[in-house]
Amino acid sequence: MIDRLRGVQLTAAFPYVLLVVFALCFAVVPPVMGYEVSSINLFNVGQSFATYAPLALGLALLMIAGEFDLSLAALYGLGAMLAVKTGADSPLTGVLVAVAVAAAVGLVNGLLVTIGGLNSVSVTLGSYIAVSGLLLIISDNASVPYLNYEVGLNLDSVLMTVLSRRSLIAIALFVVVGAVLRFTRWGRDLRAIGGDRRASRVAGVRVRRMLIATFVVAAVLAAVPGALLGYSLSSASPAYGGFPSLVFAITAVLIGGVALSGGQGTALGAAAGVLSLALLRETLAVVAAPSYASDLISGALLTAIAILAAPHLLRGARARRWVNTRPQVSEAAA
Amino acid sequence: MSHLSPVRTGAAGQGDSTRVPLVQATDLAKTYGAVRALRGVSVSIAPGEVVGICGQNGAGKSTFVKLLTGLERPDTGELRVRGEVVGFGSTLDGQKAGISIVDQELALVPQLSIEENMYLGHREVPLVGGKRARRARCQEILDQLGLGHLDPTTPLRYLRIGERQLVEIGRVLARDAQLLILDEPTATLSNAEIERVFAAVREVSAQGRSVLYVSHRLGEVLDLCDRVLVFGDGLLRGTHRVDQLDRGRLVQLILGEAGVVDSGHGVPRDGTATGPLELILDGLEIPGRLQPVSLTVRSGEIIGLAGQVGSGADDLVRALGGLVPEARGSATVGDASPLGSPSRARSAGVRFVPGDRRGEGLFLADTVRSNITATSMSRFSRLGVISRRGQRRLAEERTRVVGVAASKIAAAVGDLSGGNQQKVLLGRSLDETTPRVLLLDEPTRGVDVAGRAEIHRLLKDAAAAGCVVVFASTEIDELFDLADTIVTMAAGGLVGIHDKSSVTADHVLAEMANAGAQEASHV
Amino acid sequence: MSSVLERPPAAPPADAPPSRVQRVVANKRMLVVTTVLAVLLVYGMVTTDGFATVDNGRAILAAIAITGFGALGATLVMLGGNLFSMSASVTAAGAAMVFLAALQYGVVVALVAALLAGAGAYALQGFAIGAWGANPIVVTIGAGSLQAAVAIMITDGSSVRVAPEVTSYKFLADTVLGIPVGVYLLLVVAALLHLLLTRTVWGRNLYFLGKSPPAAYAAGLPVVLTTVIAFAIAGACTGFAGVVQAASTQSATINDLGTLTFDAVAAAVVGGNAIAGGRGSIPRTLLGVLVIATLGDLLLLRDYSAGVRLLATGLLVIVFVFATSSKEQAR
């Protein structure tokens, strides 16, 4: 039994090992190269976390369920734009509007994927383009200022030397979602759906309902950090968020131990993944590395993970894609 | 409990001990397209009863079980649970009514823990909490099933296949269902494990809950059940108390009027088993699924692998077709090995006709012409450019050989009957030089009687031309019709090798049902 | 061995060739696309001044070259059942940079170098996807980041320009009969690809692979080689998009062509190619490119913003994904 479990623990530990490695780099590399690291750099890491982590969390939920959503990238920007446009008087209203619109988009995505039985990458490609269009329309293709500067200052003021309200909100979202994932039936069902959809349905899990809800939650988790970023920067532009944020989120989620094949992953792991990448970026920023360095490293990481996770890489590994295991009768193809 | 009065007339179980049958099915019928899978079956199951279901493949057992669990709705007929009419829309409704099933295809999620799997989809699991109680109950069930050494938090993917099967059985125990349906629950289990399952079933029955036990293993049915329902051709052929049955009688009942298969009634062929050695298996195994198999086959010989679900017969055929990359040991066709990948198998002269025609065999939306020539495009192309005339000619030639009407050559293959689809696959395999080895998994599944005879003739012709034919089948008739040599398999291992003329159907059936001799396969 | 929980065996259909109704349904996608295009054209002619003019026709055609090449590439990736490449923009921009940098050695050398660059980048990704079964979306996103980083590293973030005295490439940006040379090139390449797909063993294998990967694998078809070739050709087409762009702008940075990835896939999908693979054709793709270009032109003439165009495109994509999907491996 011990032997059987050793493999799991190694895989499960990977995100945290990686986090330690990146943390060590962050602590060691700049001083060696003659740069100084201070608490403000840690604060910056926290700000990065606040900017990307909820998006990554939403994506993680979907990937655990064996689905994907490209439109999250556009929803992130849409969240910022809606909040800035409608939250001039009350920032909360702005966030609520962003959440409501995002939830509606998520609902449509979820319905199309489950009822229509469509591949989620394909559907959300369409909704990504459509929401990008919506973003351009709402913004009138120009960046919109947010005059209530107080809100941004308030969200970003330093608390306890390294935190801010914005990063605290992100952490709170992680705690809530992580607890649901870890301690409730919903979390178990989500992993079951991603692990084996047919088995889940046969066992009595309400697959469609869970999937639709997950699309909605993921969309909301994309819009909220977008909205807060809009306040924080005191403006929103149609170019915000967009694709680079999603790429960051995908990389973070994958190095955070969420399996591409579904069924596996934790909020804590995803958080570790986001922190790792945030640390990497900050390290590179401190040592004034050229702009491409971050892309180079995260692109290499992403490619490596995709290849390592590929089902055929090791001979004898179970061939998921080519070899017909059994007819899939799932209502939503993963 | 019921506001409806129980049915007073006719039904079985009217005795004083069982006032209201737990489940009463009246005249259930179900048709899939043109196939009348179930043609009016009435069954009544009393509380605490253990009922066995036997019958050949396609007899209607599976359909009956599906209707009971709510996976399918009957076309006509009525289902009552404790006297109340039910109309199930899903398995969840079945669960509510107290019916749970262990399907032969496991419904477990490898990524979840044992406890999570045992309670997956259980409708009484609260949103939050209760985990400690569930773990405790899970541990009890594991103890009961002889898996006490396992921790409920262990991820399922670290369990052996037999252990997983037991966990699935544990799931229905955890559900406190009133009717437990076990569909081939022991296919992958060892004798010791089977004993545990039996003990669990007896305990369930002692608590007044009923069990429906579907199995090809007649010994188990006779050991465990109170009554046996024998299905055939979508009908309930009869209900028998086990104390009035023995094994031989049950085999006869299952085989029906064609009860004793005339072991010589296949078309006799010349020159069987006299050719040179063509296919040599030496310790071919699939870790966890198939124990080492050694076998030599002569050119022109037809080998029938007789085995039920989990016997390893289909695994053996797939491994030889190159579809099981993890296969170990050696297999040689002439000098080449077919193991590893389908293209290696092809270049070794091996052709594989899959059992899942629609999923793994055909390109359903494509024409017969396209399908039948899919693997031999080099024959009508130069420098990679296809000659359409050449393709048409080859397709015409092949459809003629396998007996598919020329008018269908441009039809989508998905629109053809099962028999014609299988002929198209055969036509694809019988390319330029007759293949050295032809592998088939269930050669006539879903094929009607006429098509079946034609396919058998084609296979015999291929063998007469010197081809080795190896097929896996669960059907006794087919094995005796087609094979020269019958190799029986059970629980992932070889049981016996018989010349067809020197073995009886009873004996083959008994060996197929034999879990006894070997330990279950282990990962 | 059929399990209780599987679908029942599908009823054996009658032994009859598909009825006329079935054939019409089978072609419904083509029908839908043509109808959409016709409706757009009629609506445009009736309601919009300046739509039904030769000049406007030229304007629509002029817009299709770059997206068209991208869409050809997307079609090849899609047909083989590999969804789509998320690195199309970067690959095209990279090819544009290679083209401009290599122009000093002559336009032919530059063209070949650019196409090879695109083909090589795609072929590597195709290998990871085809041979190892790596997830196409993630591989192409990662490879896209890598390519962008390498390009910036090499160019130091500045744009690649061509020396003003080099004019050998200018014909690529010319127009003949008022239509850009790029459009003619697109048609030639499309025709060639159409022949490759319909008349060669590789083309047939690609369709088989897209229709049913398990069946293609079990039949022993060369799945890896087929996939790699498809990606290589797709990469060359994508590179061509970059070349056409570079010829008209005469400079290139890695961020040019930023919208190509999604424009290309959208056009291929709206043309009625199944995003799950196996069903589609080059003519459909061209039709899709035309639909999107016409839609864009119409909205522009009617003074709608770029956002409306995107929104409409996105909705069209969803509609077509819906229309072209089928749960089973069927028509």
What's the 3-state SS for C264-317?
HHHHHHHCCCCCCCCCCCHHHHHHHHHHHHHHHHHHHHCCCCHHHHHHHHHHHH
Q: What would the pLDDT profile of A95-114 be if each residue is shown by its tens digit?
A: 999 999 999 999 999 999 99
In a domain, A9, yes or no: no
Inter-chain CB proximity A321 and C133 less than 8 Å: yes
Interface of B with A in 72-101 (CB under 8 A): 90-92, 95
A316 touches chain C (CB under 8 A): no
Of A114-123, B161-170, C259-268, the range with the highest mean pLDDT is: C259-268
B223 touches chain C (CB under 8 A): no
pLDDT confidence bin for B517, thresholds 50/70/90: very low
Inter-chain CB proximity A191 and B109 less than 8 Å: yes
Burial of B448 (0-12, 13-18, 19+ CB in 10 A): middle
Per-residue pLDDT tens digits of chain C, which is 331 residues long: 333 333 333 333 333 344 444 444 455 666 778 888 888 888 888 888 888 888 888 888 877 999 999 999 999 999 999 999 999 999 999 999 999 999 989 999 999 999 999 999 999 999 999 988 889 999 999 999 999 999 999 998 888 988 888 888 888 888 888 889 999 999 999 999 999 999 999 999 999 999 999 999 999 899 999 999 999 999 999 999 999 999 988 889 888 888 899 999 999 999 989 888 898 999 999 999 999 999 988 888 888 888 999 999 999 999 888 887 754 333 3
Task: Name residue A89's amino acid.
Answer: D
Instruction: Kindly state the average pLDDT of the residues B318-337.
Output: 90
* Chain B residues with CB-CB distance to C330 below 8 A: 364-365, 414
Q: What would the pLDDT profile of B420-478 be if each residue is shown by its tens digit?
A: 999 999 999 887 666 899 999 999 887 877 788 889 999 999 998 889 999 999 888 88
User: Alpha-carbon Rg of chain C, whole angstroms?
Assistant: 21
In a domain, C3, yes or no: no
Neighbours of C, requiring at least 3 CB pairs below 8 Å, are: A, B
A325 touches chain B (CB under 8 A): no
Number of Cβ within 10 Å of residue A149's Cβ equals 11
What count of Cα atoms within 13 Å lies in the side-chain half-sphere of residue B119?
25
| DSSP 8-state assignment for residue B130 | -
- Nearest in space to B104 (alpha carbons), one of B145, B62, B144: B62
Smallest Cβ–Cβ distance between B323 and the set C14, C204, C218 belongs to C218
Please say whether the beta carbons of B234 and B38 come within 8 A.
Answer: yes
Number of Cβ within 10 Å of residue B435's Cβ equals 23
Residue A51 has pLDDT above 70, yes or no: yes
Number of Cβ within 10 Å of residue B126's Cβ equals 10
Please say whether the beta carbons of B184 and B308 come within 8 A.
Answer: yes
B69 touches chain C (CB under 8 A): yes
Q: What would the pLDDT profile of B330-363 be if each residue is shown by its tens digit?
A: 999 988 899 988 988 988 999 999 988 888 899 9
In a domain, C33, yes or no: no
Q: What would the pLDDT profile of B48-61 be if each residue is shown by its tens digit?
A: 999 999 887 778 88
Interface of B with A in 174-193 (CB under 8 A): none
Picking from A70-74, B117-121, B264-268, which range would have the lowest pLDDT averaged per residue? B264-268
pLDDT confidence bin for B78, thresholds 50/70/90: confident
What's the pTM value of the predicted model, to 2 decimals?
0.86
Smallest Cβ–Cβ distance between A129 and the set C137, C150, C266 belongs to C266
In a domain, A1, yes or no: no
Describe chain C by its helix, strand, coil percentages, rounded to 5: 70, 5, 25
Instruction: Kindly state the average pLDDT of the residues B258-262.
Output: 45
B504 Cβ contact list (under 8 Å, min separation 6)? B260, B261, B263
Smallest Cβ–Cβ distance between C321 and the set A123, A140, A303 belongs to A123
Range of A255's domain?
A: 14-333
Inter-chain CB proximity C307 and A250 less than 8 Å: no
Q: What pLDDT is recorded for position A190? A: 95
Q: What pLDDT is recorded for position C8? A: 36
Mean pLDDT (chain B) is 83
Joined together, the tokens standing for residue C122 give 């795609």
Joined together, the tokens standing for residue B330 give 């050696």
Picking from A210-224, A296-310, B67-81, B344-358, which range would have the lowest pLDDT averaged per residue? B67-81
In a domain, C13, yes or no: no
In a domain, A188, yes or no: yes
Number of Cβ within 10 Å of residue A146's Cβ equals 22
A271 Cβ contact list (under 8 Å, min separation 6)? A49, A53, A57, A174, A178, A256
A131 touches chain C (CB under 8 A): yes
Inter-chain CB proximity A1 and B154 less than 8 Å: yes
Which stretches does DSSP call E strand in B233-378?
235-241, 277-286, 290-298, 302-306, 328-333, 350-353
Distance from CA of A257 to the nearest CA of B (A): 13
Picking from A291-295, B35-39, B372-376, which range would have the lowest pLDDT averaged per residue? B35-39
Distance from CA of A155 to the nearest CA of C (A): 31
* Chain B residues with CB-CB distance to C7 below 8 A: none
What count of Cα atoms within 13 Å lies in the side-chain half-sphere of residue A204?
26
Distance, CA of B155 to CA of A259 (rounded, Å): 15
Smallest Cβ–Cβ distance between A129 and the set C83, C152, C314 belongs to C314
Report the residue of chain B nearest A323, measured CA to CA.
B323
Residue B6 has pLDDT above 60, yes or no: no
Q: What pLDDT is recorded for position A317? A: 35
Smallest Cβ–Cβ distance between A118 and the set C3, C265, C325 belongs to C325
Question: Any idea what the Cα angle at residue B82 is, between residues B224 and B43, rounded to 5°?
Answer: 55
Q: What pLDDT is recorded for position C21? A: 47
Smallest Cβ–Cβ distance between B120 and the set A4, A5, A200 belongs to A200
Neighbours of A, requiring at least 3 CB pairs below 8 Å, are: B, C
Smallest Cβ–Cβ distance between C13 and the set B105, B363, B415 belongs to B415
CA A267 from chain centre, in angstroms, equals 10
* Chain B residues with CB-CB distance to C11 below 8 A: 32-35
Mean pLDDT (chain C) is 86
| DSSP 8-state assignment for residue A264 | -
Domain tally, chain C:
1
In a domain, A243, yes or no: yes
In a domain, C136, yes or no: yes
Inter-chain CB proximity C143 and A303 less than 8 Å: yes
A326 touches chain B (CB under 8 A): yes
Instruction: Among B111, B149, B164, B181, pick the best mutation site for testing chain A contact (most A Cβ within 10 A).
Output: B111
Range of C64's domain?
A: 56-330
B286 Cβ contact list (under 8 Å, min separation 6)? B312, B315, B319, B324, B326, B327, B328
Describe chain A by its helix, strand, coil percentages, rounded to 5: 70, 0, 25
Please say whether the beta carbons of B376 and B432 come within 8 A.
Answer: yes
Residue A3 has pLDDT above 70, yes or no: no
Q: What pLDDT is recorded for position A17? A: 92
Residue A330 has pLDDT above 90, yes or no: no
In a domain, A6, yes or no: no
Q: Is C179 helix (H, G, I), strand (E, B) or coil?
A: strand
CA torsion sign for B78, B84, B89, B95 is negative
Question: Any idea what the Cα angle at residue A33 is, between residues A28 and A39, rounded to 5°?
Answer: 55
Distance, CA of B162 to CA of B143 (rounded, Å): 15
- Name the more confident of B42 and B271: B42
Please say whether the beta carbons of C207 and B386 come within 8 A.
Answer: no
- Nearest in space to B62 (alpha carbons), one of B10, B105, B2: B105
Inter-chain CB proximity C313 and A133 less than 8 Å: yes
Distance from CA of B223 to the nearest CA of C (A): 24
End-to-end CA distance of chain C: 27
Instruction: Among C223, C262, C310, C322, pick the best mutation site for testing chain A contact (most A Cβ within 10 A).
Output: C310
Distance from CA of A163 to the nearest CA of C (A): 30
Joined together, the tokens standing for residue A170 give 């992100």
Please say whether the beta carbons of A238 and A136 come within 8 A.
Answer: yes
Please say whether the beta carbons of B485 and B273 come within 8 A.
Answer: yes
pLDDT confidence bin for B514, thresholds 50/70/90: low
Interface of A with B in 279-318 (CB under 8 A): 315-318
Report the residue of chain C nearest A317, measured CA to CA.
C132
- Nearest in space to A185 (alpha carbons), one of C125, B120, C217: B120
Q: What would the pLDDT profile of C172-193 be if each residue is shown by its tens digit?
A: 888 888 889 999 999 999 999 9
B39 Cβ contact list (under 8 Å, min separation 6)? B29, B60, B233, B234, B235
Report the residue of chain B nearest C195, measured CA to CA.
B385
Inter-chain CB proximity C12 and B34 less than 8 Å: yes
Inter-chain CB proximity B363 and C220 less than 8 Å: no
Inter-chain CB proximity A119 and C276 less than 8 Å: yes
Which stretches does DSSP call E strand in chain A?
144-145, 235-236
Report the residue of chain C nearest B91, measured CA to CA.
C5
Please say whether the beta carbons of A94 and A84 come within 8 A.
Answer: yes
A291 touches chain C (CB under 8 A): yes
Domain tally, chain A:
1
Q: What pLDDT is recorded for position B432? A: 62
Q: What pLDDT is recorded for position A149? A: 87
Please say whether the beta carbons of B283 and B293 come within 8 A.
Answer: yes
Which stretches does DSSP call E strand in B299-429?
302-306, 328-333, 350-353, 381-382, 385-386
Q: What would the pLDDT profile of B354-404 be if each residue is shown by its tens digit?
A: 988 888 899 998 999 999 999 989 889 899 999 999 999 999 999 998 989
Distance, CA of C156 to CA of C159 (rounded, Å): 9
B167 Cβ contact list (under 8 Å, min separation 6)? B108, B114, B117, B118, B147, B156, B159
Pairing type for strands B210-214 and B227-232 reads unpaired
Residue A326 has pLDDT above 80, yes or no: no
Burial A122-131 (b: 16+ CB within 10 A, else e): bbbbbbbbbb
Please give the backbone phi and psi of residue C136, each rounded to the nearest 5 degrees, phi first. Answer: -60, -40
Distance, CA of C214 to CA of C208 (rounded, Å): 10
We report the CATH number of the domain holding residue A60 as: 1.10.3470
Joined together, the tokens standing for residue B453 give 């005879």
C-alpha distances in Å from residue C169, one per residue of B461, C67, C103: 65, 20, 8
Task: Name residue B161's amino acid.
Answer: I
Inter-chain CB proximity C1 and B416 less than 8 Å: no
Distance, CA of B396 to CA of B388 (rounded, Å): 12
Inter-chain CB proximity C223 and A128 less than 8 Å: no
We report the CATH number of the domain holding residue C298 as: 1.10.3470
The C-alpha torsion from B155 through B158 and B161 to B167, rounded to 10°, is: -30
A273 touches chain B (CB under 8 A): no
